[in-house]
Amino acid sequence: MKSWQSWFLLFSCNLMWALQFTCIKLVQDQVGSLVTVWGPMTLATVMLFPLIGWEKREDYKNAARSKKDILMFFVLAAVGVFPGQVVVTWGTRMSLASNAALLTLTLPISTAVLAYIFLGERMSRIRWASFALAIVGVLLCSGIDFKTLSMGGPYLLGNALIFFGILGSAFYNSYGKKVLERYSPMEMLFFTYVAMFVIMTPLVLVKEREVFSTIPHFTLRTWTGLALLTFFHNYLSMVLFLKALKQLDAIQAALSNYLITFFGVPIAALWLGEKLTLVGIIGGIMILVSTLLITVAEERQAVSRRAAATERL
C-alpha cells in the first residue's frame, strides 16, 4: 500500500472517531450510557468475526498462547476499553461533545505515563511537563470560575470522567503492547470486544433493560447515532486503522490523532450548536501544545540520538 493511501485511511479513521462524541449526544435522550456502548460494540464484534478467519497470521504461528490469556483480555476490557468507552460516554453526556474532542489530545501523554508505570519505559522531563500542561488544559476546558476560585465548573465532573476514560484507552495502548507479542492487532481487538460483551451484558440487563422495550419508538436521530457508532466508530475505523498501521510507524499514527479534535469540534458546533468559550479554547491549545511536546519533540530527540550513534560507528 502506498504511503498516501495509508494517510488517507488514517484521515478517514479520525473522522469516524471524531463522530463518536456527537453521536453520544444524539442518542442520549432515548438510550442509556451502557446500551450506547454495548449495542454498537456487540454488532461490531459480529462483523469482525469473519475478518479473523480471513486474516493471515504467519508471524504468530509459533507464539506461546495459553488459557491464561483469557484473563489478559478481560483485563484489557475491564481496565482499558470499559473506561475508554463507557466512562467517556458518561462524561460526554455531562459535558460537551467539543470538550470531549479536545480532551482526546491527552491520549498520547496518558499513554506515555502508563507505559512508564506498566512497561517500565523511560519518563523524561518532557513527558512530565507535557502531562502537567495537559492537566491544566483539562481544567481550563471545564468552565471553572477562576475569578472566585470555584472548582465547581459546569463541565468539571464530565471532563474528569472523560479524562479518566482516556486513561483507560491509554492503558489499552500501553498494556496492549504485551498482547501484540502473541496476537495480531485484529485478534486483540476482537477478543477484547468479546470480553466486553461478557462484562457488559449483565450490567445492561440489570441497569438498562427498559431500553429494549423502547426500541420501536427510537427517533431517526437515535437510529442515526447508533448506526454511526456501530459501523464507523466500532467497526470500519478500527479495521482501516489496523490496515494503515502496517505501513506507517507509531509516531505518524499518533500525530494523526490531532485530527479527532480538528473534526470533532466543528462537527459538534454544526450538528449540536455547541460553542467553546475563550478559556476553553486556551485550554485546548495547552493540551495541543502538551501533545506536540511529547510526540514531535521526543521524535526529534530520538532522531538526534540515532544520528549520534551512527556517527560514532
Give DSSP secondary structure letters for 25-76. Answer: HHHTTTS-HHHHHHHHHHHHHHHHHHHHHH---GGGTT----TTHHHHHHHI
Q: How confident is the model at residue 303 (pLDDT cuts 50, 70, 90)?
A: low
State the Cα–Cα distance between residues 192 and 75, nearest whole angstrom. 9
State the Cα–Cα distance between residues 157 and 271, nearest whole angstrom. 24
pLDDT, tens digit, 9 for 90 and up, residues 250-270: 545 555 566 676 677 777 777
State the Cα–Cα distance between residues 189 and 241, nearest whole angstrom. 12
In a domain? residue 59: no
Looking at residue 114, its pLDDT comes to 76
Q: Residue 113: CA atoms inside 13 Å, Cβ hemisphere, count?
A: 18
In a domain? residue 176: yes
Q: How confident is the model at residue 170 (pLDDT cuts 50, 70, 90)?
A: confident
Q: How confident is the model at residue 287 (pLDDT cuts 50, 70, 90)?
A: low
Q: Which residues contact 194 (CB under 8 A, 6 or more apart)?
A: 45, 73
Q: How confident is the model at residue 156 (pLDDT cuts 50, 70, 90)?
A: confident
State the Cα–Cα distance between residues 279 and 277, nearest whole angstrom. 5
Looking at residue 217, its pLDDT comes to 94
State the Cα–Cα distance between residues 96 and 98, nearest whole angstrom. 5
> Is 253 in contact with 185 (CB distance < 8 Å)?
no
In a domain? residue 126: yes
Integer angstrom CA distances of residue 303 from 284, 299, 308:
28, 6, 9
> Is 256 in contact with 10 (CB distance < 8 Å)?
yes
Q: Which of 35-44, 67-76, 285-294 has the lowest mean pLDDT?
A: 285-294
In a domain? residue 84: yes
In a domain? residue 224: yes
Residue 24: name the closest of 287, 237, 272 by CA. Answer: 272
Q: How confident is the model at residue 148 (pLDDT cuts 50, 70, 90)?
A: very low
Q: Which domain holds residue 254?
A: 3-54+65-312
Residue 47 C-alpha cell reads as 462483523
pLDDT, tens digit, 9 for 90 and up, residues 186-234: 888 999 999 999 999 999 999 999 999 999 999 999 999 999 999 999 9
Flag whether pLDDT at 172 surpasses 70. yes
Residue 246 C-alpha cell reads as 502496517
In a domain? residue 104: yes
Higher-confidence residue of 253 and 118: namely 118
Looking at residue 257, its pLDDT comes to 62
Flag whether pLDDT at 78 surpasses 80. yes
Flag whether pLDDT at 142 surpasses 50. yes
Looking at residue 85, its pLDDT comes to 92
Q: How confident is the model at residue 117 (pLDDT cuts 50, 70, 90)?
A: confident
In a domain? residue 147: yes
Q: What integer best gives the mean pLDDT of the chain? A: 78
What's phi and psi for 150, nearest 5 deg?
Answer: -90, 125
Q: How confident is the model at residue 140 (pLDDT cuts 50, 70, 90)?
A: low
State the Cα–Cα distance between residues 18 and 206, nearest whole angstrom. 30
Please report, rounded to a whole number, the percentage of residues in the chain having pLDDT higher than 90. Answer: 32
Q: Give me the mean pLDDT over the 26-48 stretch.
A: 94
> Is 208 in contact with 34 (CB distance < 8 Å)?
yes
Q: Quote the pTM value.
A: 0.75
Domains held by the chain: number: 1
Looking at residue 60, its pLDDT comes to 65
Q: How confident is the model at residue 151 (pLDDT cuts 50, 70, 90)?
A: very low
Looking at residue 39, its pLDDT comes to 95
In a domain? residue 117: yes
